[in-house]
Amino acid sequence: MNIHAHGDALRRREEILRIVRSTAVRSQDELMAELQRHGVRVTQPTLSRDLRELGLVKTPAGYVEPDAISMAPVAAFTPRESREHRLEQLFRESVLSAEAAGNLVVIKTPVAAAQPLASAIDTTPLDDVLGTIGGDDTIFVALRTPSAAAQFVRRIHAIAGITPARPAAKAARERTRA
């Protein structure tokens, strides 16, 4: 066993990190050329092993250390108009009912349709909407005020083409008057 091999690997890996931190390196070939310019000779299989051992991640901007990558999910930019159009489409396709309860709106959907709709509500900037909780077929939407919740329900009904349901007690009173 070569006792110097471990020290060589450490020095080579330190040089790889130094290069990656200071230069945008987009391929192993580019990195190998940079290493050679700095007097470090390495084969492609060894370089691949070094990259794996260091945990370097290849991104569109080049290799980076794992802690340099934000772990927050990255959402592709979608214009507001596209998000609003998609939300309205989901309202039309997915909403079975919508009812205000205080400052909450309860939306009923077919099975498995609640999550996509809740996500669309969350990603579309809507006045007074604070957030959603989406289950399998039910979504709770929190709004700032009860009046904002009522207005949101009217908007959903208009887009989805839903006739607002009358509460059972009010319907019973109307029947007795007739």
Q: What is the pLDDT of residues 94-128, one digit of tens each?
A: 999 999 999 999 999 998 889 889 989 998 889 89
CATH code, 80-164: 3.30.1360.40
pLDDT surpassing 80 at residue 159: yes
- Please report, for the chain, the start and end positions of each structural domain, with discontinuous segments joined by +: 3-68, 80-164
Q: What is the pLDDT of residues 125-157, one digit of tens each?
A: 898 999 999 988 999 999 999 999 999 999 999
CATH code, 3-68: 1.10.10.10
* Whole-number Å distance between alpha carbons of 110 and 136: 8
Q: What pTM was computed for the model?
A: 0.52
41 to 26, 34, 64, 121: CA distances (angstroms): 19, 10, 21, 55
